[in-house]
Amino acid sequence: MNRDKYSHAEFTNFRRRVQILGMLVVLVFVVLLFRLWQVQVLRGQAFRELSENNRLRQVRLASRRGGIFDRHGVPLAATRPALNLFVVRQDLGDLEQTIAVLSQRLDLERGWLRRKIETAPPFMPILIRRDLNRRDVAFFEEHKFDLPGVQLEVEPIRHYLYGPQLAHVLGYVGEVTEQQLAQDRAGERLYRPGDLIGKTGVELVYDRELRGENGYKEMEVDAHGQEVRGIRRVPSTPGNDLYLTIDWRLQQLAATLLGSQAGAVVALDPRNGEVLALVSQPAYDPNQFVSGLSPTIWQALQQDPKNPLQNRALQGQYPPGSVYKIIVAIAALEEKAITPQEELFCPGFYSFGDRVYHDWKKGGHGYLSLRRALSESCDVYFYQLGQRLGVDAIAKYAQGFGLGRPTGIALPNEKGGLIPTTRWKERVLGQPWYPGETISIAIGQGYNLVTPIQQAELISAVANGGTLYQPYVLKRITSELGTAPPRTLRVGSPHIVGYLPAQPENLARVRQGLRDVVNAAHGTGWRAKLRNVVVAGKTGTSQVIRLSPDPKDKEPAEIPERFRDHSWFVAFAPFDEPTIAVAIFAEHSGKGGSQFAPIARQLIAAHLGVDVQVAERQARTLSEGPRLQLTGSAPE
Amino acid sequence: MGSWRLRENFDWLTFLVMLLLAGWGVLTIYSATSGKPDGPLHQLYTKQLTWLAYGFVAFLVALLVDYHYVGKYAYVIYGIAVLSLLAVLTISPPVQGAQRWLGVGGVRVQPSEFAKIALILALAHYFAESQKLTPRGLLDLLKPALLTIVPFLLIVKQPDLGTALIILVIFVGLALCVGIQRRTFLLLCALVLAALPLLWLVMQDYQRSRVLTLLNPGSDPRGAGYHSMQSLIAIGSGGVWGKGMFQGTQSRLDFLPEKHTDFIFGVVSEELGFFGSTLLILLYLALIARGVTTALKARDRLGALLALGIVVLFSVTTAANIGMTIGVAPVVGIPLPFMSYGGSSLVSMMFAFGLLLNVRLRRYSF
């Protein structure tokens, strides 16, 4: 071992090399310090945010959507707990494996799933599937530890207690779309991705009242996504409750009575315009929409030739048929085109130019005045009134009855129908009005188009003595917040949109005719008759195509369904102080309106609390004789 | 045996800074593992305290036995180290795909940690014995290179590339200080450059991806870059003053991986900020500077080279570890001296510092 001290020169050289090495080391540490300064001081704030994102997780606490009740407090739409599946990208183990499992288990498209996961912020829970079924819940609970970052959360979800029976009134909720979100971001910022919002019906119109306010829970999580502790909790605010003017009993009865017949039933309270029942058939089950409709069901609904998504009561536009005679009658009286006493002759047909216009009754009605013309719905009588009035005068009165424009009911996508005038025809079709066309117009055929709710509003105004109320469905909005008895926030109130252009005495004369429709011998609406209550009404048939020369010769069954006639029946009761007005529409029924009068009778009886069975028997007894022979030929 | 008359030559500064770092390490380990009350690592800091006690014994042994006496047995020690490395490869079961540990009486030790010191001893002994500290030619380097290559290859085989590279650096550092002729130096540089592609071929996939991640951070933040990214977040989010002791969310909530071992620097930086990390680095620099003066003040070649080897080992390990946590060096399993949890690392480093202070203690003795 060499214990000698090394020589001076040797040491100096050695020291120089060591010093260089030492400086190199210092340089390395200076670089490290510089980098630390860069990371901690310059970019500290950005990294602080990243670490907060790592640590803090916000979970939305979905608000409970307000309940929807009928006028008597019967619950129509409520909420139930559903388990939803979320994915937090940051916590995912193997992205590919997760996508594979989810797409297979939940039947989701991989590309869609990948986009959804990859475009969201890494720490934000992304809703993948709403309302898992029990087997899927069991599956994901079981594989909880194999699928980190996949979470199940409870959310109150909409439940429609009576499914299709109220579909077109209530509408449905569904997940907010990208488009709606984009719009919302520019405006009020009410929605977050994955929110359920009203898509149509009452759910859409009163979404703001119903939705409440989402709360959130902020918590600290560890690297495995497990909650370590809660930090903050802002509870959600439940939505307000909605009480509708709908009478659930009546609604259900109307839907049941209409059965599989496509069509609509609207019942109004003529004293204020409250909608007591609004049925459109066929319908769909709104519950299907809540948890996300599968593309196949959606396609089936959209392509269904019967179009169950259409709310016929508001969106279906059909010729009004003989219900229109009410308007023509008023017009003729007001314009003094006829007196109540003047009788016109009906031989069963009417010749104009080189055409012959038939009456629904082959042999004709003979001589009749306005009252009997209404009750027996004589076509020839009204052909002549039409000739005397002209199309524009009729149109003026039709508009006075609220036709040709939407009623303005607070439900989405209402149509306005069409009341033709000479100017309209010139403008739209570029043709002059032919006087022969007025003949069709006079009995509610031709270009005329109305919606069932317009018909209901119209008959309701006739019932109440001439006031046109805008139909409405909202009875009141209440809040359960803070107060023991629910606090009423808002009350639906009647809105008068106009008055019928009719002198009281003229309106009274027409009302007499409508009373006879149901109650007089040979009245076309005799099937609506009740024993204890005086019902008034009007039948109607709208021709879908003109079948010549005499369509009545053909049995309905021989005509293809899409060419069969529509049927109408409008009614109100009790005659002196009406509390209900109904309009019934049956699409392509191929039958006369009188065939649907029993629906009105049942609804009225139910509404007034009269025993319908007794009344029915009574009606049968009274109708013995000539009417029984007529039943087969569908009186117009 | 050294002279107790020279007690004033004991380097109290180095000793105290060493203890300070070790104590700070225990505290940080406690902080990093106590995030969740019943976590599996909750009692780890007490184990580190035990290791610290063992380390102190090792330190005393290394300090008190005259380093010349130790130097006599340099090759014996070296031989034992190589044998233990062989044993690791032959008898120990792989843990996470690597064979690095050897069970000795119920304790798992990492022979590679001790092999580094054994190599320093052997190289210092060789260079000191062979000639004066004058520049060497290629042939003069053959023997020391052979001494280096054996443990290097054995450690590469484990695989533990980080430690193996440190073995290489020890050799290079010592050789450079002893002196290398200019042309030999240039030749060696060329050789190293030529060997780089070869190194790439030898590397495992995960090692390659770590290097790639370093070159292109954020390329795969959930995969290879995850450790790097989370470490950067931890350190960066500490800001200037840190989140406060025991307040580091990244480490305490497990976002920072290997937080109590290789990434412990991240915990300090997160909780104490730039202030704390700078202080820590200054403490390491102080130890290095002190080590360099010890090497220069050593009374003979063996002492100087021994001290120098330990300084090289210490600085490279420290720089590589910190560089890895702040994303300027690839992620390799190298602990932070005195701080990281781990018996082998702590005990071997304290032993090394015992030797270092031994050299300083005996600079005037005869």
- Determine, yes or no, domain membership for A117: yes
Q: Does A186 share its domain with A101?
A: yes
Q: Which amino acid is at B278?
A: T
- Are A145 and A270 found together in one domain? no
CA A311 distance to own-chain centroid: 6
pLDDT per position as a tens digit, A58-114: 777 888 899 999 999 999 999 999 998 988 887 787 888 888 888 888 888 888 888
In this prediction, residue B108 carries a pLDDT of 79
Q: Are residues A572 and A495 in the same domain?
A: yes
Give the rounded percent of residues in chain B with a pLDDT score beyond 70: 91
Residues of chain B contacting A2 with CB distance shorter than 8 Å: 128-129, 300-302
Write the secondary structure of A60-81 as one string of H (helix), E (strand) and C (coil): EECCCCCCEECCCCCEEEEEEE
| Within-domain flag for B199 | yes
- Greater confidence (B216 vs B318) lies with B318
Assign A623 a pLDDT band (cuts: 50, 70, 90): very low
Residue A487 identity (one-letter amino acid) = R
Nearest CA in chain B to A222: B253
**Is A623 a member of any domain?**
yes
Residue A304 has pLDDT above 70, yes or no: yes
Averaging pLDDT over each range in A532-546, B127-141, B209-223, which range is the top one? A532-546
Chain segment B63-111, per-residue pLDDT in tens: 999 999 999 999 999 999 999 999 988 887 777 667 777 777 667 788 9
Q: What is the mean pLDDT of chain B?
A: 87
> A157-185, pLDDT tens digit by residue?
899 999 899 999 999 998 888 888 888 77
Q: Is residue B366 part of a domain?
A: no
pLDDT in the model for residue A175: 85
Q: Could you tell me the sign of the dihedral formed by the alpha carbons of A48, A51, A55, A59, in that order?
A: positive
Taking one residue from A and the other from B, the number of pairs with CB-CB distance under 8 angstroms is 155
- Span B327-362, pLDDT tens digits: 888 888 899 999 999 889 999 999 999 999 999 988
| Position A619 pLDDT exceeds 60 | no
| pLDDT of residue A513 exceeding 90 | yes
Question: For residue A299, is it within any domain?
Answer: no
Tell how strand A349-352 and strand B107-109 pair up. unpaired
CATH label of the domain that carries residue A514 = 3.40.710.10
**Distance between CA atoms of B284 and B290, rounded to whole angstroms?**
10
Q: Does residue A519 share a domain with residue A408?
A: yes
Task: For residues A432 and A550, state if they share a domain.
Answer: yes
CB contacts, 8 Å: A1 with chain B? 68, 71-72, 128-129, 302
Asked if the Cβ–Cβ distance from B250 to A5 is below 8 Å, we say: no
- Residue bearing tokens 């602080």: A48
Q: Kindly report the nearest CA distance between residue A2 and chain B, in angstroms.
A: 6
- The b/e string for B312-328 (b: 16+ C-beta within 10 A; e otherwise) is bbbbbbbbbbbbbbbbb
pLDDT at A2: 42
- Cβ contact, residue pair B281, A14, below 8 Å: no
DSSP bridge pairs for B95: B98
A8 near B CB under 8 A: no
The SS3 of residue A468 is strand
The single-letter DSSP state of residue B85 is H
In-domain check, residue B126: yes
Distance from CA of A103 to the nearest CA of B (A): 22
- Domain assignment of residue A193, yes or no: yes
> B329 to chain A nearest CA, in Å?
10
Taking residues A235-262, report their average pLDDT.
93
Among A8-12, A144-148, A444-448, which range has the highest average pLDDT?
A444-448
> Contact B235/A21, CB-based, under 8 Å?
no
pLDDT of residue B365: 59
Q: Could you give the CA distance from residue A8 to residue A10 in angstroms, rounded to a whole number?
A: 5
Is A322 noted as a catalytic residue in this protein? yes
Which of A11-15, A193-197, A472-476, B361-365 has the largest mean confidence? A472-476
A121 touches chain B (CB under 8 A): no
pTM of the model: 0.72
The dihedral over CA atoms of A614, A615, A619, A622, expressed in degrees to the nearest 10, equals: 70
**Statement to judge: residues A189 and A71 lie in one domain:** yes
d(CA B128, CA B174) in angstroms, rounded, equals 11
User: What does the alpha-carbon distance between residue A146 and residue A222 come to, in Å, rounded to a whole number?
Assistant: 17
- Residue A468 and residue A367 in one domain: yes
Nearest CA in chain A to B303: A3
Q: How far apart, in whole angstroms, are the C-alpha atoms of residue A292 and residue A283?
A: 18
CB atoms within 10 A of CB B108: 14
Write the pLDDT tens digit of every residue in B11-46.
Answer: 999 999 999 999 999 999 999 888 766 666 778 899
How large is the greatest C-alpha to C-alpha distance in chain B, in angstroms? 61
H or E stretch including B107?
A: strand B107-109
Q: How far apart are CA A329 and CA A406, in angstroms?
A: 23
My answer on whether omega of the bond before A549 falls inside 30° of 0, hence cis, is yes
Q: What is the pLDDT of residue B1?
A: 44
Q: Is residue B128 part of a domain?
A: yes
Q: How far is CA B223 from CA B210, B213, B217, in A?
A: 10, 10, 11
| Statement to judge: residues A349 and A428 lie in one domain | yes
Residue A146 is predicted with a pLDDT of 84
| B50 lies in some domain | yes
* Cα of A395 vs its chain's centroid, Å: 29
High-pLDDT (> 90) share of chain A, % = 53
Q: What is the CA radius of gyration of chain A?
A: 36
Between residues A197 and B223, the one the model is more confident about:
A197
| Touching B: A residues 91-120, CB under 8 Å | 95
Instruction: Assign A199 to helix, strand or coil.
Output: strand
Summarize the confidence of residues B199-210 as an average pLDDT: 78
pLDDT over 60 (residue A12):
yes
CATH number at residue A181: 3.90.1310.10
> In terms of residue numbers, what domain contains B297?
4-361
Cα separation, A460 vs A466, in Å, equals 8
Could B302 and A2 be called an inter-chain contact, meaning their C-beta atoms sit closer than 8 Å? yes
Domain count of the fold of chain B: 1
Cα dist from B279 to A35, B321, B362, whole Å: 15, 16, 30
Chain A partners within 8 Å of B254 (Cβ):
222-224
Residues of chain A with pLDDT > 70: what percent? 92
- Pair (A255, A325) in one structural domain: yes
Query: Is A467 among the domain residues?
Result: yes
Task: Give DSSP secondary structure letters for A522-574.
Answer: T-TTGGG--SSS--EEEEEEE-SS--SS-GGGS-GGGS-GGGSPEEEEEEEES
- Is A588 within 8 Å of A306 (Cβ atoms)? no
Query: Which residues of chain A lie closer than 8 angstroms to B133, CB-CB?
Result: 6, 10-11, 13-14
CA distance B38 to chain A (A): 12
**Structure tokens that stand for A584 in this block:** 């019934």
- Please, what is the average pLDDT of chain A? 87
Better-scored residue on pLDDT, B87 or B208: B87
Q: Rounded to whole angstroms, how far apart are CA atoms B347 and B59?
A: 8
A415 and A279 within one domain: yes
A22 lies in some domain: no
Supply B25's token pair.
């390490």
Residue B227 belongs to some domain of the structure: yes
Angle between helical axes of A95-106 and A134-142 (0-180°, round to 10) = 160
Out of B68, B249, B277, name the one closest to residue A1 (CB): B68
Q: Give the C-alpha separation, A534 to A615, whole Å.
A: 11
Residue A106 lies in a domain: yes
Cα separation, A537 vs A516, in Å, equals 8
pLDDT reading at A560 higher than 80 = no
At residue A164's C-alpha, the angle toward residues A161 and A169, to 5°, is 85
Residue A462's domain comprises 248-284+311-633
CA A112 to chain B, closest CA, distance in angstroms equals 22
Nearest-5° Cα angle at A295, A293 to A300: 95
- Rama region for A124: left / alpha / beta (φ>0; ψ in -120 to 50; rest): beta
Chain A 214-273, CB below 8 Å of chain B: which residues?
220-224, 228
Is a pLDDT exceeding 50 seen at residue A517? Answer: yes
Mean pLDDT score, B162-171: 92
Query: What pLDDT, on a 0 to 100 scale, did the predictor assign at position A625?
Result: 38
Does B134 reside within a domain? yes
Residues A126 and A254 placed together within one structural domain of the fold: no
What does the pLDDT average to over A506-525?
92
Overall number of domains in chain A: 2
Residue A261 and residue A215 in one domain: no
